[in-house]
A and B are shown apart, each in its own frame.
Chain A
């Protein structure tokens, strides 16, 4: 029986909730979706009201955007008319999920210095993206990552790989966000877990299906402004308590923390260098190649605006990570010893993830608490909207328009499929969010980054930089890398040992990225070098044209509108 229950989990579906007492569970879930919890006194009305304000503004924008979304180009890339600064803010919105705020603060709160690793390392993706990818991506791309690859590679096999991996990426990331939203809504708003799924599911379908990329961009932008200003305000209040002396803040953290002076020093989070390096490589290469972020490069008119977007995004995200330093240490200083936020045993209420939220209350009372709660939830909504439009583009543009209709579909048909895809992803998000309620989803957090670093980064990098890459090499390496990553994750410590309960993991490392990326790169290179087919020769020959286009932007989408 135990084995049977584990089987669906192996495929990442986690539908076991539905298998057993399905009917009763569905009834409870449906009931919880639309009703308030029994204890209505726990509802945080300020937070709910402020979130409602965000919803109203975003729906107004969607209404405005819907009238401007007439063609597929409007839908996928806002017609390529977004400015660099706006796009930079929107990228910042896509990048900073609520994990970046609450998760990093939680890690600093519980481990001190080691938590900083998670705000420094992921940032490495930004310079890399700028120096190696941004210009070329903008000059080669149209709507999706697969467009870049198929400039030179055979259409069907390359799109199958990239769009398939994109969907796996989107769905894995989506589940993490939906489960996070459910937990957040019960902790912060005092509402039912299932209600979060419905609110997010409905909102993103409305944003994406009607407002397309224009609405999604402005939702991200507003969320980024709210998140940055909320975090700035908390840090301002924290520093004010110490007369703006950094030393005062750190001294207070040292005094409060059980780690004492160790809170400022490297600890034991990285006992294993292989895991540490693998995790670092995964965060940096994976972060540099995420489809929902890179897609944003196509919403600006040219390479220059793409660079401006990255400049703004990198500065804002860097600034945000610096704020998380202070929020984490601020939480140690003001939450750790404050009985208001501790239970009878002296443990932080709601877990370390609530550290940033409690800090908001300690600094600015109920009003700031409500604001930060609303921002945290809006953050999830915006990230899910960005993922949904990336997923809907992969389905409608890559799979439907290019693979099934071979580029013969009309604009209206593709738009219709995009909207159906957005609706399906919304429904899927709700179903998966409820199916995964209360489960250990640690492996799902690693999955999207592993896919991104194992498939997207090698594919994009080699197709733009290495003349000899052929379709056969790319596709073989991509699929093999993806398969090896999933196998290593399944037999690794998180799933095999922690979730399935085997005594020892078959693969010792929590982060397989270092190995799967190597498999991907080596296979792509070796198979390409062995590929002597006619198609391979044509692909080699077309590298020069692609190279000129990637460097000059000549023939790039949106750049030649005389």
Chain B
């Protein structure tokens, strides 16, 4: 197994895939962290923004709608990651592993 790990580690394709995967992970993490913390910081420092009604016809406030929005956004982005991983990362990964397994012993 160690031998196989070394061979994969030497494959530039593997590192390219890891980088792409980690770029997506961190980008999505940043978006989610930003949305949650913005929501909390507005409550802590600018509560008046969230106290306004969403429109003249409704009593729903910006804060409540934003809270629902934050949860929905988090679920959606989780879906985006999974879609990317299933669609793309897994296939690439299988290719890299198969390539390493089929390489003649050195």
Interface residues of A (CB under 8 A from B): 113-114, 116-117, 119-121, 123-124, 126-128, 130-132, 135, 246-247, 250-251, 254, 261, 264-267, 270, 273, 276-277, 280, 284, 304, 307-308, 310-311, 314-315, 318, 321-322, 325, 544-545, 547-549, 551-555
Chain A neighbourhood of B4, CB < 8 A:
554
Distance between Cα atoms of A270 and B9 in the complex (Å) = 49
Q: B24, B72, B81: which contacts A318 (Cβ < 8 A)?
A: B72
Q: Which residue of B lies closest to A251 (CB)?
A: B59
Looking at the assembled complex, report how far the CB atom of A116 sits from the nearest CB atom of chain B, in whole angstroms.
5
A127 and B40 contacting across the interface, CB-CB below 8 Å? no
Looking at the assembled complex, report how far the CB atom of B51 sits from the nearest CB atom of chain A, in whole angstroms.
4
Looking at the assembled complex, report how far the CB atom of A327 sits from the nearest CB atom of chain B, in whole angstroms.
14
B64 and A116 contacting across the interface, CB-CB below 8 Å? yes
A127 and B44 contacting across the interface, CB-CB below 8 Å? no
A131 and B29 contacting across the interface, CB-CB below 8 Å? yes
Interface residues of B (CB under 8 A from A): 1-2, 4-6, 8-9, 14, 17-18, 21, 24-26, 28-29, 32-33, 36-37, 39-40, 42-45, 47, 50-51, 57-61, 63-64, 67-68, 70-72, 74-75, 77-79, 81-82, 85-86, 90, 93, 96-97
A311 and B78 contacting across the interface, CB-CB below 8 Å? yes
Q: Which residue of B lies closest to A120 (CB)?
A: B67
Listed A/B pairs (5) with beta-carbon separation below 8 Å: A126-B74, A261-B59, A265-B63, A551-B18, A554-B4
Chain B neighbourhood of A551, CB < 8 A:
14, 17-18, 21, 93
A266 and B63 contacting across the interface, CB-CB below 8 Å? yes
B32 and A124 contacting across the interface, CB-CB below 8 Å? yes
Chain A neighbourhood of B29, CB < 8 A:
127-128, 131-132
- Given A124-B36, A322-B68, do A131 and B59 touch, yes or no (CB 8 Å)? no
A284 and B36 contacting across the interface, CB-CB below 8 Å? yes
Q: Which residue of A lies closest to B37 (CB)?
A: A280
Chain B neighbourhood of A318, CB < 8 A:
71-72, 74-75
Looking at the assembled complex, report how far the CB atom of B21 sits from the nearest CB atom of chain A, in whole angstroms.
7
Q: A132, A266, A552: which contacts B96 (Cβ < 8 A)?
A: A552
Of A132, A261, A264, A307, most B-chain CB atoms within 10 Å: A264
Chain B neighbourhood of A547, CB < 8 A:
9, 18
Looking at the assembled complex, report how far the CB atom of A552 sits from the nearest CB atom of chain B, in whole angstroms.
6
B78 and A126 contacting across the interface, CB-CB below 8 Å? yes
Chain A neighbourhood of B71, CB < 8 A:
119-120, 123, 318, 321-322
Q: Which residue of B lies closest to A128 (CB)?
A: B29
Distance between Cα atoms of A180 and B78 in the complex (Å) = 32
Per DSSP, chain B at the interface is helix
Chain B neighbourhood of A315, CB < 8 A:
75, 78-79
Chain A neighbourhood of B21, CB < 8 A:
551
Q: B9, B24, B58, B78: which contacts A127 (Cβ < 8 A)?
A: B78
Distance between Cα atoms of A135 and B67 in the complex (Å) = 28
B36 and A325 contacting across the interface, CB-CB below 8 Å? no
Distance between Cα atoms of A266 and B64 in the complex (Å) = 9
Chain A neighbourhood of B5, CB < 8 A:
544-545, 548-549, 554-555
Of B8, B58, B86, most A-chain CB atoms within 10 Å: B8
Chain A neighbourhood of B45, CB < 8 A:
273
Q: Which residue of B lies closest to A311 (CB)?
A: B82
Distance between Cα atoms of A114 and B72 in the complex (Å) = 19
Looking at the assembled complex, report how far the CB atom of A521 sits from the nearest CB atom of chain B, in whole angstroms.
16
A127 and B32 contacting across the interface, CB-CB below 8 Å? yes
Chain A neighbourhood of B39, CB < 8 A:
120
Chain A neighbourhood of B37, CB < 8 A:
280
- Given A113-B63, A264-B60, A555-B1, do A304 and B90 touch, yes or no (CB 8 Å)? yes
A266 and B43 contacting across the interface, CB-CB below 8 Å? yes
Distance between Cα atoms of A277 and B41 in the complex (Å) = 9
Chain B neighbourhood of A304, CB < 8 A:
85-86, 90
Q: A266, A276, A307: which contacts B86 (Cβ < 8 A)?
A: A307
Looking at the assembled complex, report how far the CB atom of A364 sits from the nearest CB atom of chain B, in whole angstroms.
25
Looking at the assembled complex, report how far the CB atom of A308 sits from the nearest CB atom of chain B, in whole angstroms.
7
- Given A246-B60, A554-B4, do A130 and B78 touch, yes or no (CB 8 Å)? yes
Distance between Cα atoms of A544 and B6 in the complex (Å) = 8
Distance between Cα atoms of A315 and B59 in the complex (Å) = 27
Chain A neighbourhood of B1, CB < 8 A:
554-555
B36 and A548 contacting across the interface, CB-CB below 8 Å? no
Q: B24, B26, B44, B59: which contacts A270 (Cβ < 8 A)?
A: B44
Looking at the assembled complex, report how far the CB atom of B55 sits from the nearest CB atom of chain A, in whole angstroms.
10
A314 and B59 contacting across the interface, CB-CB below 8 Å? no
Q: Which residue of A lies closest to B39 (CB)?
A: A120
Distance between Cα atoms of A116 and B63 in the complex (Å) = 10
Distance between Cα atoms of A545 and B1 in the complex (Å) = 9
- Given A124-B32, A264-B63, A548-B8, do A314 and B93 touch, yes or no (CB 8 Å)? no
A131 and B43 contacting across the interface, CB-CB below 8 Å? no
Looking at the assembled complex, report how far the CB atom of A257 sits from the nearest CB atom of chain B, in whole angstroms.
12
Q: Which residue of A lies closest to B66 (CB)?
A: A120
**What 6 pairs across the A-B complex have the smallest Cβ distances?**
A265-B51, A266-B47, A264-B61, A131-B25, A318-B75, A127-B32
Looking at the assembled complex, report how far the CB atom of A51 sits from the nearest CB atom of chain B, in whole angstroms.
31
Distance between Cα atoms of A270 and B57 in the complex (Å) = 29
Looking at the assembled complex, report how far the CB atom of A2 sits from the nearest CB atom of chain B, in whole angstroms.
38
Looking at the assembled complex, report how far the CB atom of B35 sits from the nearest CB atom of chain A, in whole angstroms.
9
B93 and A552 contacting across the interface, CB-CB below 8 Å? yes
Looking at the assembled complex, report how far the CB atom of A83 sits from the nearest CB atom of chain B, in whole angstroms.
15
A124 and B74 contacting across the interface, CB-CB below 8 Å? yes
B40 and A117 contacting across the interface, CB-CB below 8 Å? yes
Q: A254, A284, A321, A554: which contacts B59 (Cβ < 8 A)?
A: A254
Distance between Cα atoms of A113 and B32 in the complex (Å) = 21
Looking at the assembled complex, report how far the CB atom of B102 sits from the nearest CB atom of chain A, in whole angstroms.
14
A264 and B85 contacting across the interface, CB-CB below 8 Å? no
